[in-house]
Chains A and B, each alone.
Chain A
Amino acid sequence: MVCSFRGYASPENYPRAPEPTFVNVAFFIIALGTLATAAVAMSLRNLIHSALLLIGSWAGIGAFYLWAGAEFVAFGQVLVYVGAVSMVVLFAVLLTRHSRDDSGFEPDSIGRAVSALIVGGTVLGVLVGAVLSTPLKSATEVPAAVQVRSLGLQLMGPHAAALLVVGVVLTVALLGAVVIASPDRPADRKEEP
């Protein structure tokens, strides 16, 4: 596998479409898989199917991180999204169902879907136009692979304060989530089906 695609040898090679190398094909497979699973998940009525498909979409994003050379972020994505957030989402889906066959409620109105599609398509058009009309140069050399050791040194050195703040934020948020979700009144408990 020749990574000729990753960074052109010289800047004058830049103004042309990248040739379809193996790496490029891998990117297209990852992108199409991720987009297709996300779109189908957003359009399904059954919420459990949507959640399971979104897990596939998150895994595809993790594969993109691997493809881009950010291995540690890919592992973080798999751990946090594919592992933790998906379980929380599935629990929330199962806890908010009336019965076993309750797969959702009446379908959303057509007008709402059409207006959402119009807005989304407009935003997509604006974004694609802006991206395509901007002359972005790819890096001429491949950046050195980020070692986990250097990441740890950066986290403990220049970013130590941010790391502490993120730890506090996570602790407070998870405690708050428990407080919000726990039944506080006996009347609430009696109502449970």
Chain B
Amino acid sequence: MSFSDLHLCLLFSSALFCVGLIGVLARSNTILVLLGVELMLNAANINFIAFWRFGPTPEPATGVMFVLFAIAVAAAEAAVGLALVIAIYRHKRTIRLQEANTLKG
């Protein structure tokens, strides 16, 4: 089996993605689920950087630019998600995912 540095980076990001995925599926705490989603987003960003750095045709800074925008959108997503968690906690007095099963306020 022959592999290059790009393979190593992709394996790293795959493992990180699956750690996040297992966290999302296994935990019933809303905040931990959100953190798992953040981990998966970070794994995708690692892929962008890896392909930018080790890709066959290194375009100038395209991957870097994409990751910058992705980080900005991820920050917005984290803020809105945690605000939703707080709103759910105010209504239900718990942040257990199984309890938040209605759309009624």
Chain A interface residues toward B at CB < 8 A: 5-7, 14-18, 24, 27, 31, 34-35, 38-39, 41-42, 47, 50-51, 54, 57-58, 61, 64-65, 68-70, 72-73, 76-77, 80-81, 84-85, 88-89, 91-93, 95-96, 98, 104-105, 108, 112-113, 115-117, 119-121, 123-124, 127-128, 131-132, 136-139, 141, 143-144, 146, 150-151, 154-155, 159, 162, 166, 169-170, 173-174, 176-178, 180-181, 183, 188, 191
Contact = CB atoms under 8 A, between A and B. Distances in A.
B18 A42 contact: no
Nearest to B91: A188
A58 B71 CA distance: 12
A116 to B, nearest CB: 4
Question: In the complex, which of the residues A6, A76, A96, A115 has the most CB atoms of chain B within 10 Å of its own CB atom?
Answer: A96
Given A136-B10, A180-B83, A93 B31 contact: yes
B79 A41 contact: no
Nearest to A140: B56
Nearest to A141: B58
A42 B22 contact: yes
7 contacts: A42-B39, A54-B39, A73-B64, A77-B71, A108-B28, A123-B21, A169-B73
Chain B interface mostly: helix
Nearest to B32: A50
Given A34-B16, A57-B39, A77-B71, A96 B32 contact: no
Chain A interface mostly: helix
- Chain B: interface residue count, which band? 35 or more
A131 B76 contact: no
A69 B53 contact: yes
